Amino acid sequence: MNLKAVLKQMVEKEASDLHLKAGSPPILRISGKLNLMKHPPLSPEELKTVIVQLMTPEQQKKFARDKELDFGVGVPGLARFRVNAYLQRSSIALALRTIPMHVRPLEELNLPMVLKDLCMKPRGMILCTGTTGSGKSTTLAAMIDYINEHVSKNIITIEDPIEFLFTDKKSVISQREIGTDTNSFSLALRQAMRQDPDTILVGEIRDMDTIDTALKAADTGHLVMSTLHTLNAAETINRVISFYPPHQQQHIRVLLSTTLVAVVSLRLIPRADGRGRVPASEVMINTPTIREYILDPLETLKIPQAIVEGAQYQMQSFDQSIMNFYEKGIVSYEDAIENVSNPDEFKLRLRGIQSTSDRGWEDFTA
């Protein structure tokens, strides 16, 4: 297999992912759907050759020991790729994700413009959430680049692996990779506090130690951005709190209510014209009402409705975001219904019938 030729096709077809496994041809994910390439099935020997091409000798040793590995590679003049190598049925398999050479601006990504205001906040925590492949890293990269273009900040990123490469503009950006530049998110985050940071990007929150250090960094006057694999804002609040034992959870609710700036949740939906996907987004801003709901476990259930009614604070729900795309003809009816949180209520709105939970839609669509 000519790996560079396959990667070139991947970029030309604007595929988000490439899957390589023994017994199958290379498989591209284009606009969310898997497509088999016109190529003979790959053999285990070919995949071993790919590993040698992509990995350094040290990475090969680590892969042989751990049987899986995350790393990034760059192909000059083409793109960067995030690679996950693993074993299946005792043979090598790989999943590669395209990382564009240039960071796309927020406007081009069809993201809410309130994100520009959020990333200019001087302190606090911004969490970007969603399933794997929903656009979290791309969104945070666009926000970091926006800061970089408009203000002078010292920005430190901690990633596993490094994805987008930044060039200093008005800000100074230091990018640290787990396994190469540091040993763990939590260790790098603690050390970042001694590196005079203004903004800290943590690639992913995976454990209590990392979220605990991130909250403390946000509480001591830094802007911290990170990701979580949660579906929406309310679930994100509960996930953060669930990292802690019961006797600490009320204290964390207090800390979270004061440090959280916003939660931005994403879902990628195919465009109606077949030209890629657009990010439907739920945006929760930490208003005084949201702060009260975070403090009280019983009130946390009211967060989704507060988001629907929070248009004056530039909040929006997934269904409001998808309705906006549908009314502009950007997404089809079928894809809209498949991705909304409340399909029945969405259908009623399309028929001009308002439900009991429709307060706030008028402000959103005005």
Sorted by where each begins, the domain ranges of the chain are: 3-99, 114-365
Q: Identify the pLDDT of residue 315.
A: 98
Per-residue CA distances from 225 to 5, 281, 331, 354 (Å) = 36, 17, 29, 37
Rounded Cα–Cα distance for residues 103 and 164 (Å): 7
pLDDT value, residue 355 = 57
- Confidence at residue 351, expressed as pLDDT on a 0 to 100 scale: 85
Structure tokens at 315: 């909040």
Q: What's the token pair of residue 306?
A: 């507060």
CA distance 148 to 119: 10
Predicted pLDDT at 70: 93
Confidence (pTM): 0.89
pLDDT computed for residue 278 by the predictor: 95
Q: Which CATH superfamily is domain 114-365 in?
A: P-loop containing nucleotide triphosphate hydrolases (3.40.50.300)
Residue 76 pLDDT: 87
What is the length of the chain? 366
Question: Rounded to the nearest 5°, which phi and psi values hold at 81?
Answer: -135, 135
Q: If DSSP codes are grouped into helix, strand and coil, which group holds residue 134?
A: coil
User: Hey, what amino acid is at 64?
Assistant: A
> For residue 182, what is the DSSP state?
B
Low-confidence ranges of the chain (pLDDT < 70): 354-366
| CATH fold label, 3-99 | Beta-Lactamase (3.30.450)
- Which residue type is seen at 286? N
From CA 16, how far away is CA 28, in angstroms rounded? 8
Q: DSSP state, 360?
A: T
